[in-house]
A and B are shown apart, each in its own frame.
Chain A
């Protein structure tokens, strides 16, 4: 009933490191059955001291009940990520679980994606927001078909950093030759996919033992032939996707809503000295910068679907009473413009002259996430940025065999299929190729009947436009 204090941890978190400047990093884990993913996640949480005493006590009790005799003081680390009662009763993992831990350099959000059931759905979901994905391989088994599928999905989703953890290295006696062989296989698959050699993504291979902790948080002495960083070091130092993209001169800002308080100014702001007269005609466009950065004075285009782009100048960037000179992804701000255009939710503000015309013809990869199959002729909703429009599925042009990366003929898509489709939109959208624009190239396909999300969509270039070979399935 006292709050136990671990002063060393407090010092590490607060005194030695400037916490205020620690950045956020999102990563996901993906793996096959029994490759030790739960143990690895438990190990990362345990060794980074994200597991508190009461959680550890609960796990220790259960470990003892089940007669677990492994490392870490007889604690089965996999239990740390044990989920809902419904899952324990049925021995399954329902879906993505989110975990949090911090080191003195970074705060981490971990999307823990179960591998066995609906792996495509879970991997796509986890990877869509991830800066990095850790794919597990069992050192005794090497690259499996499942591994190829995972890497294929990660390449499609353009995850910035893919880290392959070759786990259970202790069970192959820390053999360098086993590791080198798997590493070569991984790099070969990477080359086939363009993963790690496309200038957009990285591919890194690390030997680990999640059970014993080798190369997870600390570099291991039992793998002297491996001179690279431990997994956590990698995660601490890789740039986040937003950091990689913030230098791009491709400012994109989907307008969420218009802030126009007229008479209804916030009483606390007025009490704090806000000039009521000055703000009577205040009008700003609220949103989150999805890509790039913007400065006061920049020329921007306002994209309203169905209209020609209108060019104007940014006169102010406001955030809760502060005026900013510059803002970048992923900041949420409110932008003021020089011209009093009619700008509304669903419009996009973008760096002038960098966006091509909106289009009502949508060519895309669809990751099908619903048990209800996609059929040609279906009417669906497409949610892109801050706009939702009706759409007709004109054709399904095949589905991808994730193991061979080849396109197979198909006229429908089922749960966990990834295929190529053409849609006709009821109103044009400022679509951009997902390969170059992770946010404005992404959309949801929604069932108009029950509102459920049917698919994750990745915009492709129109056939006939210059098309990247990797996307030519």
Chain B
């Protein structure tokens, strides 16, 4: 059995493998194991669902984990009020199709009540933290699934699969529990909750290959379409109610698609002719810029933007 290797040894070790799972199968099995652990060990989990591709993949994994039963937890959407209408439509259809309960936390309601203030730059992504924590507390969710991946950002690279949050939803990178083998420690005290990231180990390319393999439906704006856009901060921004060009910003029609779907006021499109999932897989495999670098104004605010948001209780 042992393959004691000396430098003269030719590396022929594949014979040991009787079965070999593909990397996608292995990642899928790992994610399903984590989803089942959380459901078994927590009183009241919920899944963050934005209609973005990572949360759509998470929901798909949950349907597989409990087949033929229903997904045994509600989905939670933190609505910035600056959504792409087609994404909200997609969200509602998905919830209906799977017979799920939808809980919505609304940034707009907090602004209307004076509990949150609009930012000067108009971006609402960082404002989601307060309604998120409010929804977690008022619904007594003790575990919240997210579609965060470690390849997205260097703060996320140090995130645990089960990440303990205190009463204020804060992430403390210096006091994380060591995560050993496939034994996940989700113990928490009253007031604390746990964020669970079952697709931590997936890359953007894995997500797209999985969407292709499983034939998963996504909101149409992930695929190439014509849209009125203007250039800002080195990104193409869609013209919409909350996203208006300044006088010097020319509006033109371009064939674009989105690599991430967030708040309309800070999510940019990329020029792309990738109209099918296969086209997108090839584009992502060949892309030379990270998805957040390409399309998220909120991550350009500072080098540690994600780290700061996470410490404050962000996703």
Asked whether B180 lies within 8 Å of A128 as measured between CB atoms, the reply is yes
Min CB distance, B180 to chain A, in Å? 4
- Inter-chain CA distance A43–B130, complex, in Å, is 40
Asked whether B289 lies within 8 Å of A3 as measured between CB atoms, the reply is yes
B residues adjacent to A (C-beta < 8 A): 1-9, 11, 13-14, 16-30, 32-33, 36-37, 39-40, 63-71, 97-99, 150-151, 154-155, 157-158, 164, 173-174, 176-183, 185, 187-189, 200-201, 203, 205-206, 209, 213, 231, 234-236, 259, 268, 270-272, 281-283, 285-290, 293-294, 303-304, 307
Stretch from A68-76, A140-148, A263-271 that touches the partner: A263-271
Name B237's closest neighbour in chain A (CB-CB). A1
Asked whether B98 lies within 8 Å of A267 as measured between CB atoms, the reply is yes
B interface footprint on A274-286 (CB within 8 Å = 1, 0 otherwise) = 1000010010001
Min CB distance, A283 to chain B, in Å? 11
Name A456's closest neighbour in chain B (CB-CB). B180
Q: List 8 A-B contacts (CB under 8 A).
A: A4-B287, A24-B26, A85-B303, A96-B158, A109-B201, A266-B98, A381-B187, A451-B189
Name B99's closest neighbour in chain A (CB-CB). A267
Name B100's closest neighbour in chain A (CB-CB). A267
Asked whether A330 lies within 8 Å of B26 as measured between CB atoms, the reply is yes
Asked whether B158 lies within 8 Å of A4 as measured between CB atoms, the reply is no
- Inter-chain CA distance A52–B209, complex, in Å, is 19
Give A142-158 interface residues, CB cut-off 8 Å to B: none
Residues of B within 8 A of A233 (CB): 11
- Inter-chain CA distance A129–B171, complex, in Å, is 24
- Highest count of chain B CB atoms <10 Å: which of A121, A197, A287: A287
Stretch from A391-399, A406-414, A423-431, A438-446 that touches the partner: A438-446
Asked whether B178 lies within 8 Å of A125 as measured between CB atoms, the reply is yes
- Inter-chain CA distance A7–B290, complex, in Å, is 16
Asked whether A229 lies within 8 Å of B11 as measured between CB atoms, the reply is yes
- Inter-chain CA distance A3–B259, complex, in Å, is 10
Give A182-224 interface residues, CB cut-off 8 Å to B: 196-206
Residues of A within 8 A of B289 (CB): 3-4, 52-54
Asked whether B173 lies within 8 Å of A86 as measured between CB atoms, the reply is yes
Asked whether B40 lies within 8 Å of A386 as measured between CB atoms, the reply is yes
Residues of B within 8 A of A450 (CB): 189
* A227 and B8 contact, Cβ closer than 8 Å, known pairs A128-B181, A238-B13: yes
Asked whether B178 lies within 8 Å of A332 as measured between CB atoms, the reply is no
Residues of B within 8 A of A84 (CB): 154-155, 158, 173, 304, 307
Q: Confirm or deny: A226 has a beta carbon within 8 angstroms of a beta carbon on chain B.
A: yes
* A202 and B180 contact, Cβ closer than 8 Å, known pairs A24-B23, A267-B99: no
- Inter-chain CA distance A319–B67, complex, in Å, is 8
Which interface class (under 10, 10 to 19, 20 to 34, 35 or more) fits A?
Answer: 35 or more
Name B60's closest neighbour in chain A (CB-CB). A320
- Inter-chain CA distance A446–B36, complex, in Å, is 21
- Inter-chain CA distance A246–B281, complex, in Å, is 31
Give A277-316 interface residues, CB cut-off 8 Å to B: 279, 282, 286-288, 290, 293
A-B pairs with beta carbons under 8 A, tally: 307
Q: Confirm or deny: A436 has a beta carbon within 8 angstroms of a beta carbon on chain B.
A: no
Residues of B within 8 A of A24 (CB): 21-23, 26-27
Min CB distance, A183 to chain B, in Å? 9
Residues of B within 8 A of A438 (CB): 181
Stretch from A254-262, A352-360, A462-470 that touches the partner: A254-262
Q: Confirm or deny: A124 has a beta carbon within 8 angstroms of a beta carbon on chain B.
A: yes
What 8 pairs between A and B have smallest CB-CB spacing? A228-B7, A451-B187, A10-B286, A261-B69, A54-B293, A320-B64, A24-B23, A85-B304
- Inter-chain CA distance A288–B269, complex, in Å, is 39
Q: Confirm or deny: A472 has a beta carbon within 8 angstroms of a beta carbon on chain B.
A: no
Q: Confirm or deny: A58 has a beta carbon within 8 angstroms of a beta carbon on chain B.
A: yes
- Highest count of chain B CB atoms <10 Å: which of A97, A98, A199, A293: A98
- Highest count of chain B CB atoms <10 Å: which of A96, A205, A234: A96
What would 17 more interface pairs be, CB under 8 Å, given A84-B304, A442-B180? A4-B288, A83-B154, A100-B151, A128-B180, A204-B5, A227-B7, A229-B7, A246-B19, A259-B67, A259-B68, A266-B63, A274-B68, A319-B67, A320-B67, A330-B21, A386-B40, A444-B180
- Inter-chain CA distance A266–B68, complex, in Å, is 6
- Inter-chain CA distance A456–B13, complex, in Å, is 30
Asked whether A239 lies within 8 Å of B179 as measured between CB atoms, the reply is no
- Inter-chain CA distance A178–B198, complex, in Å, is 45
Asked whether A94 lies within 8 Å of B174 as measured between CB atoms, the reply is yes
Contact among A203, A228, A332 for B29, CB-based, below 8 A: A332
- Highest count of chain A CB atoms <10 Å: which of B2, B176, B286, B290: B286
Asked whether A22 lies within 8 Å of B13 as measured between CB atoms, the reply is no
* A246 and B183 contact, Cβ closer than 8 Å, known pairs A200-B2, A256-B36: no
Q: Confirm or deny: A29 has a beta carbon within 8 angstroms of a beta carbon on chain B.
A: no
Asked whether A286 lies within 8 Å of B65 as measured between CB atoms, the reply is yes
- Inter-chain CA distance A5–B25, complex, in Å, is 27
Name A201's closest neighbour in chain B (CB-CB). B2
- Highest count of chain A CB atoms <10 Å: which of B2, B9, B98: B2
Asked whether A452 lies within 8 Å of B180 as measured between CB atoms, the reply is no
- Inter-chain CA distance A85–B285, complex, in Å, is 29
Asked whether A3 lies within 8 Å of B285 as measured between CB atoms, the reply is no
Asked whether A383 lies within 8 Å of B185 as measured between CB atoms, the reply is yes
* A1 and B231 contact, Cβ closer than 8 Å, known pairs A97-B157, A256-B33, A267-B99: yes
Name B175's closest neighbour in chain A (CB-CB). A452
